[in-house]
Structure 1
Amino acid sequence: MFPAFSLLLYFLFTFNFNAKSISSTLGNQTDHLSLLKFKESITSDPHRMLDSWNGSIHFCNWHGITCIKELQHVNLADNKFSRKIPQELGQLLQLKELYLANNSFSGEIPTNLTNCFNLKYLSLRGNNLIGKIPIEIGSLQKLKQFSVTRNLLTGRVPPFLGNLSYLIGFSVSYNNLEGDIPQEICRLKNLAVMVMVVNKISGTFPLCLYNMSSLTMISAASNQFDGSLPSNMFNTLPYLKVFAISGNQISGLIPISVENASTLAELDISNNLFVGNVPSLGRLHYLWGLNLEINNLGDNSTKDLEFLKPLTNCSNLQAFSISHNNFGGSLPSFIGNFTTQLSRLYFASNQISGKIPLEIGNLNSLILLRMKNNYFEGTIPSTIGKFQKIQVLDLYGNKLSGEIPSSIGNLSHLYHLNLGKNMFVGNILSSIGNLQKLQMLYLSRNNLRGDIPSEVLSLSSLTTGLFLSQNFLSGSLPDEVGQLQNIVRIDVSKNWLSGEIPRTLGECLSLEYLILTGNSFNGSIPSSLESLKGLRVLDLSRNQLSGSIPKVLQNISSIEYFNASFNMLEGEVPTKGVFRNASAMTVIGNNKLCGGILELHLPPCSKPAKHRNFKLIVGICSAVSLLFIMISFLTIYWKRGTIQNASLLDSPIKDQMVKVSYQNLHQATNGFSTRNLIGSGYFGSVYKGTLESVGGDVAIKVLNLKKKGVHKSFIAECNALKNIRHRNLVKILTCCSSTDYKGSEFKALVFEYMRNGNLENWLHPTTGITDQPISLTLEQRLNIITDVASAFCYLHYECEQPVIHCDLKPENILLNDIMVAQVSDFGLAKLLSSVGVALTQSSTIGIKGTIGYAPPEYGMGFEVSTEGDMYSFGILLLEMLTGRKPTDELFKDDHNLHNYVKLSIPDNLFHIVDRSIIIESEHNTDNGNTGSIHPNVEKCLLSLLRIALSCSVESPKERMNMVDVIRELNIIKSFFPAEVQQRRGASQPQIT
């Protein structure tokens, strides 16, 4: 019996051994074939990492493959592989770790990866995967770490993650996930790391999260979470090291329990809606990063900054920000007791006042200090010279005074220096030329005097920009400016600089913006500027430049805006490049220029005369004839005595206007018949008429002289229109100041007739009236916006005396035969002197615009300003894009059109945009399917709405100016989808 039992044992052992060998052999063959198929499916292998995958060596020795008895680890991260993730990976049954991060895999996540039931680590981050996270992942019961960060995944955070009882960490950041956090997550008792940054996840955090004691990291920045945080939440998270929830809508107080979060190393609650005071954080000894910026913390009181004192106990603190809050009071001297490890300190955009403490110099490890937009006063402390590691120093927008301390010239690591918008005096330090790493120097809007040091202009490191505008700098612009070969922006505008523009500027080959306006530069425009092939903006206005505009400038294809207005230039204006677009260039105020495109309305360039004597004779004859005409004109009107105030009519009759009488206008309008009435307002009515003497149909504005302030309005409109000429301003043909048939005083202005009416009728057609205009396309709206912007840029910056319109609204924008917009109605306009002081009063009753369009500061008694026009422009844009008037019944109490749009973009863009724009955009897509809108249409709408919001903010100083608006509009037009563009006005009916 014993021999038989021994034989049986031998047989069983041998069978079991052979079975394992056979199984191992089959497994090896399956793994081998699966990996080869994986290699075949890869279309891109730029690093040639799969070259080793061949039959000459065992697959366990291939690149990225690790075997422990059998294949267990595949690490093919960072190889830029493309195409879909091959299904064959699901046949690697013993696989425990799969790393495919940072490639270019597309398509959906393979569902058969769940065959790898031993999988513990799965990383697919940094690819182009789409679709939802497959539900099959929930069957990987051994999974510990799961990452799909930086893909294009959609859907919700999958609740089946709650089934993965071993899961320690998951990251779904930088996708398009939405919905709330599923309650099933709370079943993960071992969960330590939860990262879901930059998605659209909403709702509140599940309360059970605060009882998950194993959590060490919660990172949910840039989502749509709301609600408030429980006051005791940090008491139940004893191991929490990172709490980062910036960029949400979480409100309420900062939980008081944060004082007990002794393990916390990073606390980031920035860009939320937190209010109140900051708790004491002095016991957070591991804290290295504290970010409280962009909230509503503090109440502008002297006690707001008391929480800073306990922070001096945080010896590991390296980065700290309270920027963009409402902290008040002064900066305490114990700021110098902060740990010397502190390297980044942000105090910008608060209400902090008083002097900068000397003790701040103790923070000698700082590499960045931002304290801009506060109310700091006094001088910059000399101890700032201790910042030997400082790279960024930003004190912009305070009330600092005195001279810039010489110790700044010793900060050898500085690459960003911004001291703009303060009250510094004295000269620009030549020692700034020692800062060999300096990339940006901003000293604009101070009281600096003297020359620009050549040492500063010799800093070849300056790349971002040199900003010295709005000071009292004098002398010339040194030739050393040519050494700034890598600089992008140079702005020395509004100083007292003189001499010629250096030809060496042509050596600044990276220059994109050159702003020299408002100085006394003389001589000619250097043709060497032709070398600046990347130049986008060239502003030479308001100087004393002479000679011609170099034709070589038209060869710079990148120029988006050119301004040479108010100089002494002469000769022919080029017609190519930027000079083809009247809205992108201006040369007004140069009386000897000629030619150019028709929209400039310049006289034609005459051929040079063959004989000087003939030219002299013609000049003398012209002068004598002009003198005779003037004498005759004055004599006639002196005898007739029909004009009671000649000064009112001298202004608009600079060009020889056709004389019209009351009788002429009465006949032209069929006795001012109601059938000819096309509009009415506070100051009068507008009639359509026919005057053959001025070329046919006209619009006649008859003033209602019984209204108070109408005489002032007439004067204002005459003064505003007498010298201005622009393709986007309504052209006055003539005027009449006489008496009617009853002997009553009569005043009227005659304009070109606009067959397409005003913008109001297009945006808000009257219900029930036939022959109403059809809706405007998005392209037409964009063109009208650009037309209006061009007109106001001309009024604000290019007229000899800037003009403030004061009443911009749709009714005052007229549309001609080809839908070109022209701004009208200057009855409330004001002229400003060169220093911005009002020269004329618009009316005796103090009207400063129309309700809804007038800026809020006008209602508080502020003087009119270009910023006021910008507010009206912003509201006009919002109305054109949403179809809602600013006086809509929807806007009550503190709710207004501006906030309505601000709170709705970008997520609810198509809910607020005028429905006719959406319908037109859907109709013009490539596939013609309803609901499909060209992505550039969305981009265009968002860009336009953001311009409108920037123009219509409550604070006048924060509003965009029209020059910047035009630059942005030109950019928008560059990406406007060609397939939805139509020929301007080609299919539009005319209103008759």
Structure 2
Amino acid sequence: MATILGNQTDHFALLKFKEPISDDPNGILDSWNSSIHFCKWGGITCNPMHQRVIGLNLEGYQLHGSLSPHIGNLTLLKNLNLGNNSFYGEIPKELGKLLQLQQLYLTNNSFVGEIPTNLTYCSNLKDLFLSGNNLIGKIPIAIASLKMLQRMTLSSNKLTGGIPSFIGNLSCLTQFSFADNNLEGDIPQAICLLKKLTVLRVGVNNLSGTPPSCLYNITSLTIFFMAINNFHGPLPPNMFHTLPNIQMFGIAKNQFSGPIPTSINASSSINFLDIPDNNFVGQVPSLGKLKDLYHLNLERNNLGNNSAKDLEFLKPLTNCSKLYLLSFDTNNFGGVLPNSIGNLSNELKMLYLGCNMISGKIPAELGHLVGLISLYLESNHLEGVIPTTFGKFQKLQLLSLRNNKLSGDIPHFVGNLSQLFILDLYDNTFEGNIPPSIGNCQKLQYLKLSQNKFRGTIPLEVFNLFSLTNLLDLSHNSLSGSLPKEVGMLKNIDWLDVSENHLSGNIPETIGECVSLEYLNLQGNSFNGTIPSSLASHKGLRYLDLSRNQFYGPIPDAMQNISSLEYLDVSYNMLEGEVPIYGVFGNATQVEIIGNNKLCGGIAQLHLPPCHINGIKHPKHHEFKFIIVIVSVVSFLLILSFIITIYWMRKRNQKRSFDSPTIDQLTKVSYQALHRGTDGFSTRNLIGSGSFGSVYRGNLVSEDNFVAVKVLNLQKQGAHKSFIVECNALKNIRHRNLVKILTCCSSTDYTGQEFKALVFDYMKNGSLEQWLHPEILNAEPPTTLDLSHRLNIIIDVASALHYLHHECEQLVIHCDLKPSNVLLDNDMVAHVKYGMGFEVSTCGDMYTFGILVLEMLTGRRPTDETLEDGQNLHNFVRISFPDNLINILDPHILSRDAGVSIRDGNSENLFPRVEECLISLFKIGLVCSMESPKERMNIVDVNRELIIIKKAFLAGEIN
């Protein structure tokens, strides 16, 4: 009878388990019906004697739904495997009723919430696999009661706190994986009690300190991974004697220092050694006894000392017949490459030797490594020619020899490397013609031959490389001839650069067929003819440089329709006629036109003469409209017409009449002084215009420096009101990081008409918006903002918001915080201009502050076209943060010496101090821009965090 009741309970529990599953694409649950006994249903295992469910295995069937609490009624269940599905919601606490459960696999789902403490009732549990979910909170202390537990993996969640010391009580534990969480603190000494431990994975956390020395005495360990944390200190010299069974050892991206322990050569079981991005020094010990070694990564350390013996470790490596990857990129290795390098394993696929100080010639023996897929020798001091033996690299896909002293021709056998998709010979002294045989490399996506001495014409075979999608860069050579019409065959090319050569002739109309083109640089040649109108067909073109050529005729009107264009340079040609005013031509910081003496018209900021016909000024339609031009300092003045100081905290119900307005006492300046200081409001001093007036650059006797004078258009409805509000509201607002109103003028002009103007500080370095996009900035170097600049600007803006929210007599809401409203003075100190929006809330200000921070760190506008499928900037950052920081980081934010090495678009190293600063700033931006106002930080907490970040950044404490 008990068995029958048990069968009914199991049957009902399984049906209830099925109910909340909304999607079963593989139909595994189709058999779950009354036509057959439930023990024959897909994924079910029953005890043959009692017909009770003891196993439920639905791994990898792509099921979507929540996990029913009725699962707890399968009381004899021993094995539950729901891994690799799409279950969501919390893990039901009813799992604690499964007292017979031995294996629980919920890996790679979307479970949320904390790990249920009720699991500790499952006293027979041996395997607990919860990796790849969204679990939060600390590791429950109750897990200490699971005395039978052998394997516990909680990786890839969002767990916090530290590694609990109770872990030492789980004496049966053999596998322990907490990687990829938010754990912090030290590794507890108690971990050394786990005498049966074979696998230890705690990488990708915020753990710190020096690992306990006893950890290196757990002789049973075979896999040891602690990568991407903040561990420091040297490794014990004899550690590999006390880890005799170690097979995989990975501690990348920490701060370990000292030499590589010489005892490593005694550990013949090691097959995987990965220690990049640390501070190891000295020589690499002999590794010739590691017969099974297939992965050796020593990148980005301080190994070697630029001596002749630095590379002696390569010869013993020829005994490692399974070696698959070898990288000692970015160290201090000097000397020459030994001929013995050609005796390395035939299995070697990836060889990275770049960014060292290796000199001499490339040994011909290197060509014996015919299995190579990737070969990087860039940024060394190599000289001589490319060995002919390189023609044997039939499998080679990536070859980088950039930034060396190599010479001679590109050998014709390059055409034999048919699998190449990256060929980078940039910055050498190669000469001769580009061989037509390169056209045989039909998989080539990236070809960079710039900064060499190539001559002759560009072979047509290059334009037959339909695979070229990323880049074709032939710039800074001595190429001659024309750009042939075959260029149109590169339909999917993103980047085309043939600048600084001796090319001539017309630009073929077929260039319009390169539909994916984003960057086109033709500068510094002898191209002539007119600018082809087909360029306007490039709807995604962002950068176009035609400067220093011999183009003549007008600028095609159609070019103002390229909505994506961010920078255009046509300077130093022979162009003539009227300059368009829309699109890129509407922003003087995005267009260069100097050196074309016959151009006229355009927007006022270009300072071109007006266009004339038969001595009569040609009336242009845009003269009858006000065009809002956001440029340099004036961008803040153009929206000041919308300024309002919000007194809604204490005066929200009060009504104020403007029928007979009065202006509070504010020092005034005369119309005569303004007229004289702006040369009669000359167009030469006009720096912007908007719906409420125009802005002029001026110089007043009463002011030591230049000022910005906003002359109100009193014909515009609301202009009088704007003048009064701005005067009364702004005169008492005084803060280092807020734009300062200096004076005002309320008078009559020389014709007797009413005249009103406001005078503000003039900010020489313009708006933050310009500086966030250095490729379009028209300024003297430096033209980019490094991390230190951006951190200071973020602090300045936050300080201004704190003043507006907490230090004014009444609360002031900004409502329009964005880069064009942040101005930089001579010392690059940020000053915020304030404007009116519609959402009267400090939470609204915090949202725009968060978006501003994200824009400053990513270099992407909130309306960036690269944000696909309705994705916003917040989500774009959140998806890649923090694991793939380099994918979202503005590439201009770090200088060349800031510790960043990028290979194939991936981050290889950020100095920890810099990386932690960026992570902290990204966190502020993300929290402030949360969708729910209640989840956003307030400005007080933001300022407190920023002070800590800056102090640590300057003192080097973030490491």
What's the TM-score, normalizing by structure 2?
A: 0.67
1:357-372 aligned at under 5 Å gives the runs 357-372=363-378
CA offset at residue 605 of structure 1? 3.5
Distance of aligned partners of 1:115 and 1:468 in 2 relative to their CA distance in 1, 3 Å threshold: same
Q: Does 1:387 align with 2:393?
A: yes
**Match in the other structure for 1:67:** 46
Most deviating of 178-187 and 442-451: 178-187
Higher mean C-alpha deviation, range 164-173 or range 250-259: 164-173
Amino acid at match of 2:457: D
How far did 1:49 drift?
4.7
Q: Could you tell me how far apart the structure 2 residues matched to 1:926 and 1:161 are? A: 48
Structure 1 counterpart SS, 2:176: strand
Deviations along 1:578-620, whole A, 9 cap, x unmatched? Answer: 33333233333333333333332333344x44xxxx789xxxx
1:776 aligns to 2:721 (yes or no): no
Matched AA of 1:950 = L
- How far off is 1:364 after superposition? 1.1
SS at 2:589 equivalent = helix
Residues paired across the two proteins, number: 712
The superposition leaves residues 967-988 of structure 1 with CA deviations (integer Å, 9 ceiling, x where unpaired) of xxxxx9x9997999xxxxxxxx
Q: Find the counterpart in structure 2 of residue 695 from structure 1.
A: 675
Q: Alpha-carbon deviations, 1:937-983, whole Å to 9, x = none?
A: 5534545897776358599x99xxxxxxxxxxxxx9x9997999xxx
The partner residue of 2:575 within 549, 566, 569 is 569
Distance 1:604 1:223, change over 3 A: same
The answer as to 2:782 corresponding to 1:822 is no
- The residue aligned with 1:39 is 18
Check if 1:251 corresponds to 2:242: no
Alpha-carbon distance, 1:218 to partner: 0.6
Residues 1:914 and 1:588: Cα distance change in structure 2 (over 3 Å) = closer
Using the TM superposition, give the Cα deviation of residue 80 of structure 1 relative to its aligned residue in structure 2, in angstroms. Answer: 2.3
Asked if the contact 2:576–2:596 (Cα under 8 Å) also holds between the matched residues in 1, the reply is yes
For each residue in 1:121-150, what CA deviation from the matched residue of structure 2 results, as whole angstroms up to 9, or x when unmatched? 232222222222333333332222222222
In 2: Cα distance, 1:439 partner to 1:155 partner? 46
User: What is residue 468 of structure 1 aligned with on the other side?
Assistant: 474
Q: Distance in 2 between matches of 1:693 and 1:68?
A: 99
Whether 2:156 is the aligned partner of 1:150: answer: yes
Output the CA distance in 1 between the equivalents of 2:157 and 2:707.
Answer: 57
Structure 1 residues 731 and 280: alpha-carbon distance in aligned structure 2, compared to 1, 3 A threshold: farther
- Specify whether residues 504 and 357 from structure 1 end up closer, same or farther in structure 2 by C-alpha distance, changes over 3 A only: same
The 10-residue stretch of structure 1 (64-73 or 138-147) with the greater mean CA deviation from structure 2: 64-73
Mapped contact 2:421–2:443 kept (Cα < 8 A): yes
> In structure 2, how many angstroms separate the alpha carbons of the residues matched to 1:58 and 1:224?
55
**Shift of the alpha carbon at 1:411?**
0.7
Q: How does 1:858-937 map to 2 (within 5 A)?
A: 869=782, 880-881=793-794, 928=843, 935-937=850-852
| Aligned counterpart, 1:950 | 894
Of 591, 595, 599, 1:593 maps to 599
1:743-782 alignment runs, 5 A limit: 752-753=706-707, 773-776=734-737
TM-superposed CA distance for 1:309, in Å, is 1.2
Q: CA deviation at 1:508?
A: 1.7
Please state how far the C-alpha of 1:690 moved relative to its aligned partner: 9.8
Shift of 1:261: 1.1
Aligned equivalent of 1:280: 286
Q: For the residues of structure 1 that align with 2:139 and 2:385, how far apart are their CA atoms?
A: 58
Tell whether 2:91 aligns with 1:85: yes
Q: State how far apart, in whole Å, the 2-side matches of 1:725 and 1:408 are.
A: 58
**Does structure 2 conserve the Cα–Cα contact (< 8 Å) formed by 1:320 and 1:345?**
yes
2:509 to 485, 491, 503: 503
Using the TM superposition, give the Cα deviation of residue 394 of structure 1 relative to its aligned residue in structure 2, in angstroms.
Answer: 0.4
Structure 1 position 129 matched with structure 2 position 135: yes
Question: 1:727 and 1:930 mapped to 2: Cα distance?
Answer: 26
Query: Are the structure 2 counterparts of residues 596 and 342 from structure 1 closer, same or farther at C-alpha, using a change threshold of 3 Å?
Result: same
Question: Does 1:545 find its partner at 2:555?
Answer: no
1:521 maps to a residue whose letter is F
Contiguous gaps of at least 5 residues in structure 2: 55-77, 618-667, 690-694, 711-730, 741-757, 767-778, 798-827, 860-888, 903-921, 934-959
SS at 1:822 equivalent: coil
Structure 1: unaligned runs, 5 residues or longer: 1-20, 617-687, 700-722, 736-748, 757-769, 782-815, 825-865, 885-912, 959-971, 981-992
Contact 2:696–2:709 under 8 Å retained in 1: no
| AA matched with 1:151 | N
Give yes or no for contact 1:42–1:82 (8 Å, CA) kept in 2.
no
The higher radius of gyration belongs to 1
Partners of 1:100 and 1:404 in 2: CA distance: 55
Q: Give the superposition deviation at 1:522.
A: 1.7
> Within 1, Cα distance between the matches of 2:33 and 2:11?
10
| Distance in 2 separating the partners of 1:545 and 1:560 | 21
* Contact 1:530/1:556 (8 A) holds in 2: yes
Q: Which residue of 2 aligns with 1:373?
A: 379
1:939 corresponds, among 854, 859, 871, to: 854
The Cα offsets for residues 616-668 of structure 1, whole Å up to 9 and x where unpaired, read as: 9xxxxxxxxxxxxxxxxxxxxxxxxxxxxxxxxxxxxxxxxxxxxxxxxxxxx
State the secondary structure of the residue aligned to 1:950: coil
Match of 2:235 in 1: 229
* Paired position in structure 2 for 1:327: 333
More helix by share: 1
The 1:575/1:331 distance shift into structure 2, 3 A limit, reads same
Counterpart residue number, 2:804: none
Give, in angstroms, the shift of residue 109 of structure 1.
Answer: 2.6
Identity, in percent, stands at: 52
Structure 2 counterpart of 1:939, one-letter code: L
Compute the displacement of 1:439 (Å): 1.0
Change (3 A) 1:158 1:557: farther
For the pair 1:486 / 2:492, whether they are aligned, the reply is yes
Counterparts in 2 of 1:914 and 1:529: CA distance versus 1, 3 Å: closer
Q: More displaced, 517-526 or 79-88? A: 79-88
Cα distance in 1, alignment partners of residues 830 and 785 from structure 2: 23
SS of corresponding position for 2:137: coil
Change (3 A) 1:937 1:349: same
Specify the code of the residue in structure 1 equivalent to 2:295.
Answer: G
Aligned partner of 1:17 in structure 2 is none
Once the two structures are superposed, what CA deviation does each residue of 1:206-232 show, in whole Å capped at 9, x if it has no partner?
A: 212111111100111111111111000
Q: Deviations over 1:459-485 (max 9, x none)?
A: 001111111111111111111111112
Asked if structure 2 preserves the Cα contact closer than 8 Å seen for 1:580 and 1:597, the reply is yes
8 Å contact kept, 2:604–2:687: no
Distance 2:699 2:790 in 1: 32
CA RMSD of aligned residues (A): 4.3
1:193 aligned partner: 199
Contact 1:46 1:80 in 2 (8 A): no
- State the alpha-carbon separation in 1 of the partners of residues 829 and 8 from structure 2: 64
Q: Which residue of 2 aligns with 1:336?
A: 342
Distance 2:199 2:761 in 1: 59
Q: CA deviation at 1:185?
A: 1.8
Instruction: Tell me, yes or no, if structure 1 residue 352 matches structure 2 residue 358.
Output: yes
1:434 and 2:440 correspond: yes
Native 8 Å contact 2:698 2:708 kept in 1:
no
Q: Match of 2:872?
A: none
In structure 2, how many angstroms separate the alpha carbons of the residues matched to 1:927 and 1:49?
Answer: 52
2: CA distance between counterparts of 1:366 and 1:37?
55
* Worse-superposed segment, 580-589 or 205-214: 580-589
Q: 1:914 to 1:872 in 2, by over 3 A?
A: closer
Alignment deviations for residues 404-446 of structure 1 (CA, whole Å, 9 cap, x no partner): 1112121111111001100001111110000011111110110
Equivalent residue for 2:532?
526
Would you say the 8 A contact 2:678–2:699 is kept in 1? no
Residues 197 and 873 (structure 1 numbering): CA distance in 2 closer, same or farther, change over 3 Å?
closer
* Cα pair distance change 1:367/1:245, threshold 3 Å: same
Change (3 A) 1:822 1:289: same
- Give a deviation string over 1:317-356, Cα, whole Å, max 9, x none: 1100010001111111111111211111000000111111
